[in-house]
């Protein structure tokens, strides 16, 4: 790609109507394009020349998956969310999203991001899971505590 600034735009940022998608160098994952199949936005995107549609390379997706497991966001990110982060990493692009989980993993990977209609997160968050019965803490959401059988509740750990 040329030596320009590129942006990866999340579906929610497009639908917010606060982003001028006709301006700038935009990268869209195929999965975002698939999410906006109907209406004027799809027509506008199809007619634009300054956008590029990509599928992220597997190596970048693996990096994103590992980072999301470390932040505790793995279970809340969709495959489209992972594609957005992976493409931003792959092309050194800025992510435009209001999704805090995407922003959190981007922060972990030192990817720049900006909110579309809300403020960005101020610091990286590490999600942990605490048993509601015995209060044992787990790094990942296993739904049910293997010690006592109670459900786990997600909480943040300040970094």
Q: Tell me how far the alpha carbon of residue 25 is from its chain's centroid.
A: 19
Confidence of residue 53 (pLDDT cuts 50, 70, 90): confident
Closest C-alpha among 142, 21, 70 to residue 152 = 142
Indicate whether 110 pLDDT > 70.
yes
> Mean pLDDT for the chain?
85
Confidence of residue 112 (pLDDT cuts 50, 70, 90): very high
Closest C-alpha among 141, 142, 146, 144 to residue 155 = 141
Question: What would the mean pLDDT of 133-158 be, rounded to a whole number?
Answer: 89
Confidence of residue 60 (pLDDT cuts 50, 70, 90): very high
- Please state, in angstroms and rounded to a whole number, the distance separating the CA atoms of residues 66 and 57: 15
The full set of domains in the chain, from first to last, is 6-114 (3.40.50.1010), 125-158 (2.20.28)
- Please state, in angstroms and rounded to a whole number, the distance separating the CA atoms of residues 48 and 113: 23
- The conformation of residue 144, written as its DSSP 8-state character, comes to B
Coil, helix or strand at residue 42: helix
Residue, of 120 and 87, whose pLDDT is higher: 87
Indicate whether 121 pLDDT > 80.
no
Structure tokens at 156: 């943040």
CB atoms within 10 A of CB 131: 20
Cβ contacts of 120 within 8 Å, gap of 6 or more: 103, 113, 114
Q: What is the pLDDT of residue 25?
A: 82
- Please state, in angstroms and rounded to a whole number, the distance separating the CA atoms of residues 84 and 90: 10
Percent of the chain with pLDDT over 90: 47
pTM, 2 dp = 0.79
Backbone angles phi, psi at 136, to 5 degrees: -65, 145
pLDDT per residue as tens digits for the range 73-106: 998 999 999 999 999 999 999 999 999 999 999 9
């Amino acid at each position: 790609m040329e030596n320009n600034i590129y942006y990866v735009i999340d579906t929610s940022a497009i639908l917010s109507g606060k982003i001028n998608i006709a301006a700038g160098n935009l990268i869209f994952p195929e999965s975002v394009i698939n999410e906006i199949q109907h209406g004027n936005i799809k027509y506008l995107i199809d007619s634009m020349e300054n956008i590029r549609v990509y599928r992220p390379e597997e190596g970048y997706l693996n990096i994103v998956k590992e980072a999301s497991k470390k932040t505790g966001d793995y279970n809340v990110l969709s495959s489209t969310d992972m594609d957005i982060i992976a493409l931003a990493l792959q092309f050194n692009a800025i992510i435009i999203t209001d999704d805090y989980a995407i922003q959190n993993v981007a922060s972990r990977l030192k990817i720049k991001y900006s909110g579309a209609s809300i403020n960005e997160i101020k610091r990286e968050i590490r999600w942990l899971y605490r048993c509601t019965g015995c209060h044992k803490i787990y790094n990942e959401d296993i739904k049910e505590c293997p010690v006592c059988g109670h459900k786990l509740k997600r909480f943040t750990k300040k970094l």
